[in-house]
A and B are shown apart, each in its own frame.
Chain A
């Protein structure tokens, strides 16, 4: 690895540690070693609300559920909207109006509709992941070169073949990009959703609970985990893009 890439993180850690020693107030800034202690012992129950691992798994499970529902709704809808102009005309206005509303603005409505608890959180995550997935899918389908569809037609393809064997594969790189962006936003939404009243597990909850007990070391350790998982998610999906959709960048 390039040595230049690790200089700044190390400098940051050193400054943090110096600042923590100088402040000598763990409620404002916990020393590095306290945070590391928590991170290297993720199986220890924290503040009586389960371990770091347990809370992380709860968050991941929520993200996955909301994200999968968003994909199951967003991808087919996007394909139909991109391909059939009637479907586009039907849904376009509604989607354009809803799209700019940040997921967290839905919180009061979600609580009113689904009450405090799991369903509301899933709804917020769904909203967060849905729009990037939908919009990227639409863009992908609209961007399919017309000549590829015509080629398939002159080889005898019917509407169904064109959708399954031309439109979907041709737009799959864009769909995957949408999934990657959607996953990132879903991950941010879960943490926010778990900070809502009524939540009793998950990384977001752990952060708020630790804050109420002035345990900033737990807060920071949870933040580090959130960052690492978000990064892993992004890198993983990017890897799939590069590996299986290489042709996308190499079209002549």
Chain B
């Protein structure tokens, strides 16, 4: 079997008292083992919803998601999610936040702290083991959340704009680290980002979604050797292509499609 994940005709409709919102509309794609897949699309197009459905936190209204041939019915440690929001447990320090998944698995303290410290070092927060979330900046909290998910060693890593709050420098370092772990540990990564650059730099394939209701507009395989250089002609050509596809959709989400020629 070469697909770790199969998303089949998945739709998600949110129903509230006043209205219905079709967030994800009939999406189908497969994810291969050890693939690095990015998703880009206008704000509000259903990217987070899609990740949450793969994580098992949200049930598709129709369609199904299979992991290794089995239907996903709920959340599980084999699918780790780095949330878009801040989600550190405020009463735990950095070390115990990062070690949380290992702790509930019953791993002895010494062992799990050892692993946690390795990941804290990786995200550049050595020395902050004892700090509490309220003592950290937004970007630092985001990094701790990344370490927490990676330390838990999931087969599929779902990341929802994980580097959103970081400066370019830190972002570059973490992209590098993420690729290293992905290659070494043969992980499958689904990565949501607003940065086309980042998507091209990291991914085997980039999925471009339409404005809400989110459908797949295009899937672009990135055939570039790693490590990639952001200033090669091919890279720039990929960027131009994806930005163009994306532009229409972003404008559409503003109901400004007719003006697109001017913008």
Query: Does B associate with A?
Result: yes
- Report A's interface with B, CB cutoff 8 A: 147-148, 150-158, 161, 165-166, 169-170, 172, 245-248, 250-252
Q: Does B138 contact A (CB under 8 A)?
A: yes
Which of A151, A161, A248, A252 neighbours the largest number of chain B CB atoms within 10 Å of its CB?
A151
Give the residue of A154, A157, A165 whose beta carbon is less than 8 angstroms from that of B55.
A154
Contact present for B104 and A252 (CB under 8 Å): no
Complex Cα gap A150–B55 (Å): 10
Whole-angstrom distance between the Cβ of B195 and the nearest chain A Cβ:
24
Interface 1/0s, chain B 132-146, versus A by CB < 8 A? 111000100100000
- Report B's interface with A, CB cutoff 8 A: 55-57, 74-77, 79-81, 83, 85-87, 89-91, 100-101, 103-105, 132-134, 138, 141, 148-149, 152
* A250 and B87 contact, Cβ closer than 8 Å, known pairs A150-B57, A156-B101: no
Contact present for A247 and B132 (CB under 8 Å): yes
Closest chain A residue to B134 by CB distance? Answer: A250
Closest chain A residue to B152 by CB distance? Answer: A155
Give the residue of A150, A153, A165, A247 whose beta carbon is less than 8 angstroms from that of B90.
A247
Contact present for A148 and B91 (CB under 8 Å): no
Whole-angstrom distance between the Cβ of A136 and the nearest chain B Cβ:
17
Which of A148, A155, A156, A161 neighbours the largest number of chain B CB atoms within 10 Å of its CB?
A155
Contact residues in B for A148 (Cβ distance below 8 Å): 87, 89
Closest chain A residue to B103 by CB distance? Answer: A165
Whole-angstrom distance between the Cβ of B105 and the nearest chain A Cβ:
6
Complex Cα gap A170–B101 (Å): 17
Contact residues in B for A166 (Cβ distance below 8 Å): 89
Q: Work out how many contacts link A and B, with CB atoms closer than 8 A.
A: 74
Contact present for A150 and B89 (CB under 8 Å): no
Give the residue of B56, B74, B104, B133 whose beta carbon is less than 8 angstroms from that of A165.
B104
Complex Cα gap A245–B57 (Å): 29
Contact present for B104 and A157 (CB under 8 Å): yes
Complex Cα gap A156–B91 (Å): 19
Contact residues in A for B80 (Cβ distance below 8 Å): 154-155
Contact present for B152 and A151 (CB under 8 Å): no
Give the residue of A154, A172, A248 whose beta carbon is less than 8 angstroms from that of B81.
A154
Complex Cα gap A148–B100 (Å): 12
Contact present for B104 and A247 (CB under 8 Å): no
Contact residues in B for A156 (Cβ distance below 8 Å): 76-77, 101, 104-105, 152
Whole-angstrom distance between the Cβ of B59 and the nearest chain A Cβ:
13
Contact present for B87 and A247 (CB under 8 Å): no
Complex Cα gap A155–B157 (Å): 11
Which of B87, B148, B152 neighbours the largest number of chain A CB atoms within 10 Å of its CB?
B87
Give the residue of B57, B86, B138 whose beta carbon is less than 8 angstroms from that of A154.
B57
Contact residues in A for B83 (Cβ distance below 8 Å): 147, 150-151
Contact present for A252 and B138 (CB under 8 Å): yes
Complex Cα gap A161–B102 (Å): 12
Give the residue of B91, B104, B132, B133 whose beta carbon is less than 8 angstroms from that of A170.
B91
Complex Cα gap A251–B85 (Å): 13
Contact present for A252 and B134 (CB under 8 Å): yes
| Top 5 closest pairs, chain A to chain B, by CB | A156-B77, A250-B134, A155-B101, A153-B75, A247-B90
Closest chain A residue to B93 by CB distance? Answer: A247
Give the residue of B75, B79, B133, B148 whose beta carbon is less than 8 angstroms from that of A150.
B75
Complex Cα gap A155–B138 (Å): 21
Complex Cα gap A170–B103 (Å): 17
Whole-angstrom distance between the Cβ of B53 and the nearest chain A Cβ:
12
Contact present for A155 and B132 (CB under 8 Å): no
Contact residues in B for A161 (Cβ distance below 8 Å): 104
Q: Assuming A156-B76, A250-B134, what are 15 further A-B pairs, CB within 8 angstroms?
A: A147-B83, A148-B87, A150-B75, A151-B83, A151-B87, A153-B57, A153-B75, A154-B79, A154-B81, A155-B77, A155-B100, A155-B104, A155-B152, A251-B133, A251-B134
Contact residues in B for A155 (Cβ distance below 8 Å): 77, 80, 100-101, 104, 148-149, 152
